[in-house]
Amino acid sequence: MNTFLKSSIIILITIITGCAATGQDLRANTYNATELNQNQEVMSVKIISIMPAKINIDNSKQKKHAMVAGGLLGAVAGGVAGNYLGNNTGAALGGLAGGATGVATGSLVNNKVMVDGVTLAYQIDGALQSSTQVGFACEYKTGIAIMVKTSDNNTRIQPNATCPTKS
C-alpha cells in the first residue's frame, strides 16, 4: 500500500473520530457576537447545590461534515489505489468505491453526543431555582455567583471556581 493511501486512511479516521460537537459554544461563559456590546441583566445568586449532569447536544452538522470529508477523501484514495493497481477504469471504480466507503464511514458519526454539565440549584430573592449549564462541577462552588440573563432569557451562571490544573 503506497504512502498516499495510508495517509488518506489515517486522515479519514481522524476526521471521523474528531467530528463530535464539544458543547463549548453552549458554556455559560461563551457568547455569540449578537450578545456582545449590549445591556444584559446581571444578578447575584447563591449556589446551594452542584450536581453533575450529562447534556445531549446536536451533532448533525459535524456528521454531515464527516460524510462529505469522508466521501471526498475516500474517492481520492480509491482513485489513487485503483490507478496504482490497474488502469483508468480501475481508478474510476476505485474512486466510486472509495467515495461510497468514505460517506458510509462518515455516517457512523452520531447525530447526538453527550457532554459534561452541571445542574446548579440556587437561591435568588429567597426562591429556590435551578439551571443546567455545560461545564464541570469543579468550575463551581457553593456560595455567591453571578448570573447573566441574555436577551432571550437564558440564564448563564458564571463559573465561580477553577478546576485544578494538571502538572
Poorest-pLDDT segment among 74-83, 121-130, 147-156: 74-83
* Banded model confidence at residue 140, pLDDT cuts 50, 70, 90: very high
| Residue, of 166 and 101, whose pLDDT is higher | 166
* Banded model confidence at residue 55, pLDDT cuts 50, 70, 90: confident
Mean pLDDT within 105-113? 65
Mean pLDDT within 15-40? 64
Instruction: Spell out the residues 6+ positions from residue 137 whose beta carbon is closer than 8 angstroms to its own.
Output: 50, 51, 52, 118
Helix (H, G, I), strand (E, B) or coil at 162: coil
The pLDDT, as a whole number, for residue 162 is 92
